[in-house]
A and B are shown apart, each in its own frame.
Chain A
Amino acid sequence: MRTALDAWTILSVSAGVFFFLAGTVGLLRFSDTFTRLHALTKADNLGVGLVVLGLLPRAGSVLAGLKLAVIWFLVLLAGSTVSQLIARSARSRRPRA
Chain B
Amino acid sequence: MTEAFDILLAALILGLALWTAIARETFAAVLGFMAYGLLLTLVWVRLHGVDVALTEGAIGGGLTGVLLIGAAARSRATESVSLAERPGTLTRALAAGLAAAVASALAVCVLILPVPAPTLAHEVAANLASTGVGNPITGVLLAFRAMDTLLEAIVLLFALVGVWSLAPDRAWGGRPGLRHSADPNGILAYVARVLPPIGVVVAMYIFWVGADHPGGKFQGATILASMWLLVMMAGLADAPPIRRSWVRVGLVAGPVVFIAIGLLGAWTAGAFLAYPDGLAKPLILVIEFALMPSLTLTLGLLMAGAPQRPEAP
Contact = CB atoms under 8 A, between A and B. Distances in A.
Chains A and B bind each other? yes
B312 interface: no
A85 B188 contact: yes
Interface residues on A, range: under 10
Looking at chain A's contact residues, the main secondary structure is: helix
Interface in A61-82: 70, 74, 77, 81
A77 B187 contact: no
Contacts of B195: 74, 77
Contact of B191 (A70, A81, A88): A81
A74 B198 contact: yes
Looking at chain B's contact residues, the main secondary structure is: helix
A84 interface: yes
B190 A81 contact: yes
Contacts of A74: 195, 198
Nearest to A81: B191
Nearest to B187: A84
Contacts of A84: 187
B121 interface: no
Nearest to B201: A70
A77 B202 CA distance: 15
15 contacts: A70-B198, A70-B202, A74-B195, A74-B198, A77-B191, A77-B194, A77-B195, A81-B187, A81-B188, A81-B190, A81-B191, A84-B187, A85-B187, A85-B188, A88-B187
Interface of B: 187-188, 190-191, 194-195, 198, 202
